[in-house]
Structure 1
Amino acid sequence: MDKPLDTALSLEIATTIKSKAKDSFDNAFKATKVLKESMYVQGFLVKPGKPYKPIEHGWLELEDRLVDPTLPYLDKTEQEFYYFPVQRLSVKQLLAAVEEAKEDYPDDPPLPVYGDAPYEYYGDVMLGGKDYQAAYAQALAKCKELNRPKSNEMN
């Protein structure tokens, strides 16, 4: 069962953390400091229209709903968003992964957190292992379904 997106809480958290339009991973990271009982989730977001492909995205998951602190910048209604999770991290796991990334790769941004190497590369999307590949395939299928050309039926 898919969890519903909590629009009101998403907008409230976005305001609280002063979320930024093009930084869903960092927005979700900052939001974990407010919603400490949440899980940080990385995966893919699909919506109708441009960019016509799955978007690597970060959000939060609570027991019964999703919270997306990037929602104010997404240009659609929540009924038009589809989330395909790949990796869930507790706040403790997330903090440890960010600290490790800062130590190991100080010149690179610590987010998103990728699974164990080796990674597979598909065009301009860096995928992790088989979990990323499976979620990407599902997200791509949904994207094609949502963006299917409308047939011109004549009466």
Structure 2
Amino acid sequence: MNKPLDEALSVEISQRIKSKAKKTFDNAYKAALATDQAQYVQGFLVFPGKPYQPIEHAWIELAESIVDPNLPFLKKDSQQLYYFPAASFNVTQLKEIIEESKEDYPEDDPLPIYGDAPYEYYGDVMLGGKNYLDAYQAAEAKSKEINQPNFENN
């Protein structure tokens, strides 16, 4: 069962960290650093309508809720957002991974984090391990469920 989305805290944190549109991973990273006891989470987001498929996304989770610093840019009904986590890191792990990535691959953006090979295919892309594939498949099934054409109204 997914944790509920805390809309008010999502907007508050988004404003506090000055989140930017189309920077889902950076926004979640900054939110994790700025929020006590936060877990940085990567996975997939599903909602009714375009693009009619899961999108790769990042957010933070607290003990009882999801906090999405990208919420103001989504322009979607928060009751119709479905989150599918693939990987989760506490702030200490997150900082270590980012530092190591910057040292090992200074020309590449350290986010998102995909872990170690072997990677699996999901969609048309090969990124992340089996946990990514599992999250993508669950998200894809939900996307198909909520984006079914309504033939009664045609």
Q: CA deviation at 1:126?
A: 3.9
Q: Which amino acid aligns with 2:58?
A: G
Change (3 A) 1:153 1:60: closer
What is the RMSD of the two structures over their aligned residues, measured on CA atoms? 1.4
Percent same amino acid among aligned pairs?
A: 61
Query: Which residue of the partner structure matches residue 64 of structure 2?
Result: 64
Q: How does 1:41-120 map onto structure 2 within 5 Å?
A: 41-120=41-120
The alignment partner of 1:48 has SS state of coil
Query: Which residue of the partner structure matches residue 29 of structure 2?
Result: 29
Q: Distance in 2 between matches of 1:72 and 1:19?
A: 9
The alignment partner of 2:52 has SS state of coil
The alignment partner of 1:87 has SS state of strand
Q: CA deviation at 1:123?
A: 4.7
Q: CA deviation at 1:84?
A: 0.3
Q: Which amino acid aligns with 1:24?
A: T
**Mapped contact 2:10–2:67 kept (Cα < 8 A):** yes
Query: Which residue of the partner structure matches residue 134 of structure 1?
Result: 134
**Mapped contact 1:28–1:58 kept (Cα < 8 A):** yes
Q: Which amino acid aligns with 2:68?
A: D
**Mapped contact 1:5–1:65 kept (Cα < 8 A):** yes
In the alignment, structure 2 segments of 5+ residues that lack a partner are: none
Q: Deviations over 1:60-103 (max 9, x none)?
A: 00000010000001011110100000111000000001011111
The alignment partner of 2:49 has SS state of coil
The alignment partner of 2:35 has SS state of coil
Deviates more, 1:132-141 or 1:28-37: 28-37
Aligned length: 154
Deviates more, 1:115-124 or 1:82-91: 115-124
Q: Distance in 1 between matches of 2:76 and 2:61?
A: 20
TM-score normalised over the length of structure 2: 0.95
Q: Distance in 1 between matches of 2:153 and 2:82?
A: 28
Q: CA deviation at 1:151?
A: 1.3
Q: Which amino acid aligns with 2:64?
A: D
Q: Which amino acid aligns with 2:106?
A: P
Q: Distance in 1 between matches of 2:88 and 2:41?
A: 5
In the alignment, structure 1 segments of 5+ residues that lack a partner are: none
Q: CA deviation at 1:153?
A: 6.3
TM-score normalised over the length of structure 1: 0.94
